Amino acid sequence: MDILSLADTLEILDLSHNRLDALPDELRQLHKLKILFASNNRFETLPEVLGECTNLEMVGFKANRISRVPENSLPPRLRWLILTDNRIETLPETLGERPRLQKLALAGNRLTDLPKSMAKLTNLELVRISANQLSECPEQLLDLPKLAWIAFSGNPFSRSDLRIESVPLMQSSSFTLQEVLGQGASGVISKAVWNEDQTHFPDEIAVKVFKGEVTSDGYPEDELHACLKAGEHPNLVKPLAQVDENGYLALIMNLIPPHYRNLGLPPCFQSCTRDNFPEGVSLSIEQIDKIVQQMVSVFNHLHDQQVCHGDLYAHNTLYDEDANIIFGDFGAASMYHMLTETQQEKIRQIERRALHHFIDDLLSICAEADQQKLKFMRLKQKATH
C-alpha cells in the first residue's frame, strides 16, 4: 500500500466514487488520519478497521450498500458520521459510547428504531433521520442538551395524510426554464418565464425542480409539503404553485431580487455544525438587531404552523444592504402536528437552540466600531437572566 508512506502526515483520505467493498487492515497505520470519505462505493458492511483508527473524526460512507454496522466499527474520537442512503436496519449500542459525536446523518436507510444508548450523546448537535422506517418518535434524541438541528420527515411516526392546497397545481409545460440560479442536494433552482400571459402571477419566476431521490435531508416530496404548510411570511421565499407530474416534482416561487446575497457560508470540517462567514464581512449592531427580529418572527411563524425547519442557518438566509432577509431551503423541514404536545414542545426547544446559535454567529461578525455596544448588550442581557 503506497499510501502507507504518508502515515506520518496524511489527515484526509477521499476514496469516493470507486468500486470498493472493503478496506485493508493496514489503514490503522495511518495514525494521523482525521477524515475519511468512501461514498458511492460498494461497501455492504462498515469496515471494522475504522474502529482502530484512533484519530479518525469524520467518516463518510454515503450511497453504498451498507446493511451492517459492527459494534466495533466506530472510531473512538468520532465527531461526524455520514451513512446517508444505505440499507441499514439497526445500529449498534456502541454508537452511544462516542461522546464527541456532534453530527449524524442517517437519512435514507431502513432503520426501525435507534439505539437507546444515544441518550448519552450529550454533544450531538445535528441529526438527520428522515426517510427511514421509524415507527415511534425517538424520545432518546428529544432530550439531548445540545441538539439544535433535526430532520425526521418520511418515517411512519411522522407520516401525514394532510393535503396542502395553499397553491395551485400547474403543468410543467406552462413555463420555460432559463439560467440556473443555484442547486443543492434536493434539486436545481432556475429562473423561468411563463409560456403564456398570466394574470395571477409575476412575469418572472423561479422554479425548483426536485431531483427525485433521497437526499442527505430526506425525500423531496416532504420538503415540498413542509414548504407549503409553512405558508406565507414576509421573510420566507413565497411559493406560487406546484407541479406534480409523473417523474417531475417542482415548486414555482417568487424570483428573489438579484441584490440579495447569502448571509453566511456552510459549516466546514473544523466548525462541524456552525456557520462560517466570508473573510472581512461584518455587520453593524443595528443590522444584526434587524436581522434577528425578522428571524425570530420567521421562527414563531413556522412553529405556529407546526413546521420544524431543521436547517436554521445564516447560509440559508439571503439579505440586502438594508438588512432585510429572505429565508428558504426547506430540505430538512419536518411537519410535526402528528406528535404529542410534549414532543411538539421538545421539537420547538430543539430549534430554539438553532435560533440562539444563529444569533451568536451573527454577533461574531459584529463590526469593530460596535464592539462596546455589544459588550453592554451582553452585560444587560446577563443581568436580566
Q: Which three cell numbers stand for residue 203?
A: 412575469
Q: Which three cell numbers stand for residue 120?
A: 448519552
Pinpoint the alpha helices (H) of the chain.
Answer: 139-142, 220-230, 285-304, 341-363, 371-383
Contacts of 256 (CB under 8 A, 6+ apart): 206, 237, 318, 326
Contacts of 344 (CB under 8 A, 6+ apart): 306, 336, 337
What is the spatial distance between Cα 133 and Cα 117, in angstroms, rounded to a whole number? 19
Strand partners, 244: 249
Q: Which three cell numbers stand for residue 33?
A: 488520519
183 SS3 class: strand
| Cα radius of gyration rounded to whole Å, the chain | 22
373 within 8 A of 363, measured Cβ to Cβ: no
Show binding-site residues for ATP.
Answer: 208
Show binding-site residues.
Answer: 208
The number of CA neighbours under 13 Å toward the Cβ of 361 is 24
User: Cell match 406560487: residue?
Assistant: 240
